[in-house]
Amino acid sequence: MYLSFDEIVEIHNQQISRYGGESGFLNRGNLDFIADMQDRFTDPLEIAAFLLYNIATLHPFCDGNKRTAYVAAGIILCESGFDFLVSEEEEERFVLSVANCNENFESVTQWLKKMTEKREFTY
């Protein structure tokens, strides 16, 4: 599963509408890059890490990049059968660390592996 450009914009708009902030693009080209490059990955954890890392660090939007990044990653994981096992405090701490460039793609991927669990389906 991947998120389209328009789906990421919709996530952003929902976050701004719900929590406030300035809507619109800071750098639309960065969002084009993010939306187009997701398909380099097939593992949902890597796709989620790519979205979380790049939306938070490349700042395609005027405001709400960290929120959008986390929600986008969460959607990929949820739709792929993963549950987050992280407190709100840890979530906020880590996403801020990513946005402050204290993390890299690999550390984001490892954090997601550590903080998620694959749902077991029973029939």
Q: What is the pLDDT of residue 14?
A: 98
Contact 62, 26 (CB under 8 A): yes
SS3 breakdown of the chain: % helix, strand, coil, rounded to 5? 65, 5, 30
Distance CA 83, CA 19 (A): 23
Q: What tens digit of pLDDT does each residue of 69-95 get? A: 999 999 999 999 999 999 999 999 999
* Residue range 88-122, pLDDT digits in tens: 999 999 999 999 999 999 999 999 999 999 998 75
β partners of residue 61: 25
Of the candidates 51, 65, 55, the one whose C-alpha atom is nearest the C-alpha of residue 23 is: 65
Q: Is 122 exposed, middle or buried (0-12, 13-18, 19+ CB in 10 A)?
A: exposed
| Single-letter amino acid, residue 20 | G
Report domain extents, the chain.
5-118
pLDDT-derived band of residue 123, with 50, 70 and 90 as boundaries? low
Query: pTM higher than 0.85 for the full model?
Result: yes
Percentage of the chain surpassing pLDDT 70?
Answer: 98
Q: Are 57 and 103 in contact (CB under 8 A)?
A: no
Give how far the C-alpha of residue 93 lies from the chain's centroid of Cα atoms, to the nearest Å.
14
**CATH dotted code for 5-118:** 1.20.120.1870
